[in-house]
Amino acid sequence: MSSPTLTIAGEEEPIIIGYEAVAAYHGQSALAMLAITFQALRAILPVLSPDGPPPRAALSITSGHPGPGVRDAFEFVTRAVTRNAYVVDRSLPDARLNPQADISYSFVVSLGERRVRASLKEDVLPQRFFELLAIKEKTDAERAEFSQLKRAIAARVLAQEPVSLFVLS
């Protein structure tokens, strides 16, 4: 399977960004959320800008999730963190899937007055993900299991159509 891509308008011409490039930028710590966020952008951008790729410099992001995979996916694609157009708002009301954390698995991407929210569907992340995430001092076996689980989630998410993972509004 080839790496999924998305297209964003650069300063002079469109930029095609593959997931593999985003993953190389991020590293390996939060691959599940990196893949989920990349797929959120793939679902959101055509709805936000139906006439073609939106201009990278005009996008702003509100994320209900503060994690590094989320931040890095948005930064790599939109440069929103660098441009101070990125806000974490843990109080977003949708997709509050983690019973141990006060966060939202939803994102709002804005282009001028237009906004599209992507809320992760409940069945995307298995309960075991949240159980392992909650363990602060993991054993070697738990760390290995969590790493494998994050990679498996990323692979499964990337193999799906982006719109099947989210409720868009």
> CA-CA distance, 19 to 38, in Å (whole number)?
7
The pLDDT of residue 1 is 52
86 sits in which H/E element: strand 86-88
Locate the domains of the chain by residue range.
5-168
Alpha helices in 49-161 (DSSP H): 68-78, 127-134, 140-158
Q: Which CATH code for domain 5-168? A: 3.30.1330.130
The pLDDT of residue 28 is 87
Query: Interior CA angle at 63 toward 104 and 160, to 5°?
Result: 75
> CA-CA distance, 116 to 169, in Å (whole number)?
6
pTM: 0.95
Structure tokens at 131: 């159980």
> CA-CA distance, 85 to 59, in Å (whole number)?
7
Mean pLDDT, each 10-residue run in order, the chain (169 residues): 89 96 93 97 97 96 97 97 97 93 96 97 96 95 96 97 97
